[in-house]
């Protein structure tokens, strides 16, 4: 009984010792730097987001604006005014696919909306591409009955917005990783 308590105490002491040794290794990703170098927030604010090229007044143009706005908010928050150090070019394609089709009407009752995006981070000073990547998003939505046109359109639009936000989050995470780790 006493040896079991000693073993538990020794294990607990080992865990505490390991935690104390690694405590100095952790630094929050968005923490301010004390050595005067720019932090992640300042680096992200230096990313310029040109408009995503899509035909005017198309559904994809609206989705492109949604991706760009969501990403701008994630990068800059409400701040503005930083000179651009990098330019992020984004291209995407979207798709819709039926998941479930009603046997009674032959119309889809559940669909998927997807976005496949490619992005390229270009250093403004040199014009060189420093990072490229791809990401995707798939969201499902219910397609109400055939007589509910407004509900059907609203469901598609909500799915487009959710997919656009997911794309923006994925790109923001990848940019944060690039500016923190350098790769």
- Where are the strands (E) in the chain, listed by range? 47-48, 86-101, 108-123, 129-142
Predicted local confidence at residue 78, as pLDDT: 76
Predicted local confidence at residue 102, as pLDDT: 76
Predicted local confidence at residue 47, as pLDDT: 93
- Where are the strands (E) in 13-107, listed by range? 47-48, 86-101
Predicted local confidence at residue 183, as pLDDT: 62
Query: What pTM was estimated for this model as a whole?
Result: 0.79
CA distance 117 to 52: 11
Predicted local confidence at residue 35, as pLDDT: 64
**pLDDT (tens place) for every residue of the chain, 183 residues total:** 667 788 888 888 888 877 776 666 656 666 665 666 667 888 888 999 999 999 998 999 999 999 999 999 999 887 766 789 999 999 999 999 888 777 777 777 788 999 999 999 999 999 999 999 999 999 998 887 666 778 888 989 999 999 999 999 999 999 999 988 876
Q: How far is CA 120 from CA 71, 74, 88, 156, in A?
A: 14, 17, 6, 28
Backbone angles phi, psi at 160, to 5 degrees: -60, -45
Backbone angles phi, psi at 130, to 5 degrees: -105, -15
Q: Taken in order 57, 45, 43, 138, is the CA torsion positive or negative? A: negative
Predicted local confidence at residue 109, as pLDDT: 78
Predicted local confidence at residue 139, as pLDDT: 95
Predicted local confidence at residue 1, as pLDDT: 60
CA distance 39 to 77: 15
């Amino acid at each position: 009984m006493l040896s079991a308590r000693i073993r538990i105490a020794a294990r607990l002491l080992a865990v505490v010792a390991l935690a104390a040794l690694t405590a100095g290794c952790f630094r929050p990703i968005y923490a301010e730097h004390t050595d005067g170098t720019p932090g992640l927030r300042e680096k992200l604010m230096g990313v310029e987001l040109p408009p995503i090229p899509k035909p005017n007044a198309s559904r994809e143009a609206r989705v492109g604006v949604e991706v760009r706005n969501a990403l701008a908010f994630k990068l800059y928050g409400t701040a503005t005014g930083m000179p651009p150090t990098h330019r992020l070019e984004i291209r995407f394609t979207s798709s819709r696919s039926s998941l479930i089709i009603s046997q009674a009407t032959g119309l889809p009752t559940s669909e998927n909306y997807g976005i496949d995006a490619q992005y390229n981070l270009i250093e403004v000073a040199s014009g060189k591409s420093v990072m490229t990547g791809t990401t995707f998003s798939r969201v499902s939505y219910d397609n109400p009955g055939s007589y509910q046109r407004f509900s059907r359109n609203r469901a598609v639009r909500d799915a487009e917005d959710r997919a656009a936000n997911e794309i923006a989050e994925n790109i923001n995470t990848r940019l944060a990783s690039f500016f923190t780790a350098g790769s």
